[in-house]
Copies of this chain bind each other. A is one copy, B any other.
Amino acid sequence: MKPKKPKETAAEMTELVLPNDTNTLGNLMGGRLMHWMDIVSAISAQMHCNRIVVTAAVDFVDFKHPIHLGEIVKLSARVTRAFNTSMEVYVKVIGKNLRTGEEKFCNQAYFTFVAVDQDGLPISVPPIEPETEEEKAQYEDALARRNMRLMLAGKIKPDLKILSDLLT
């Protein structure tokens, strides 16, 4: 399979925060935001493999700033690395206040998707060929994050070496 570049997998999504997306303080609920993050990441993964994809895992998400009713949310996603049948997608969330024009970085996360065929069985995906420095760094670190996921999911034994790689 022909490798793809991260930019070929880039997906952008813009959402307007409506009343039903907010809590009683008028702030976007975290679950709604994760729903959007999952959709834009899945689109990115599908642009990479041209297959149906299913969410396999979501890494730690840290919500840094509230987003308010009437503000807009800009989500951007791209594939950082592909493994055999899975892809890691990096997604970044920016909140934008349309009155002031001000943008704030709200959160980021890594989603993992598996490509499947019509029977739902895993199927191989093309490799990723990083271009920029940032893409290359994310590509390198993707392996440690993958090992971390396997540890947290109980599929491989805990290994401090992996953790140490991830944090330094």
Q: Are B39's CB and A31's CB within 8 A?
A: yes
- Chain B residues closer than 8 Å to A31, beta-carbon distance: 34-39, 42, 55
Contact of A24 among B55, B69, B158 (CB under 8 A): B69
Task: Please report the C-alpha to C-alpha distance between residue A24 and residue B111 in the assembled complex, in whole angstroms.
Answer: 19
A59–chain B nearest beta-carbon distance, Å? 6
**Secondary structure type dominating chain A contacts:** mixed
Closest chain B CB from A162 CB (angstroms): 9
Contact partner of A14 (CB less than 8 A), chosen from B43, B58, B100, is B43
A102 nearest CB across to chain B (Å): 10
Residues of B within 8 A of A153 (CB): 60, 62
Interchain CA distance A72-B113 in the complex, whole Å: 18
Chain B residues contacting A163 (CB-CB under 8 Å) are 160, 163, 167
Q: Judging by beta carbons under 8 Å apart, are A52 and B24 in contact?
A: yes
A16-B39, A19-B19, A66-B120 given as contacts; is B52 within 8 A of A30 (CB)?
A: no
Please tell me if the beta carbons of B12 and A27 are within 8 angstroms of each other in the complex: no
Report whether B43 and A98 are in contact in the complex, using a CB–CB cutoff of 8 Å.
yes
Docked-complex contact B66 and A54, CB < 8 angstroms: yes
Whether B63 and A60, one on each chain, are in contact in the complex, defined by CB atoms closer than 8 angstroms, is no
**Could you list 4 further interchain pairs (A-B, Cβ under 8 angstroms) beyond the known A51-B99, A58-B61, A60-B152?**
A14-B40, A24-B52, A56-B63, A66-B120
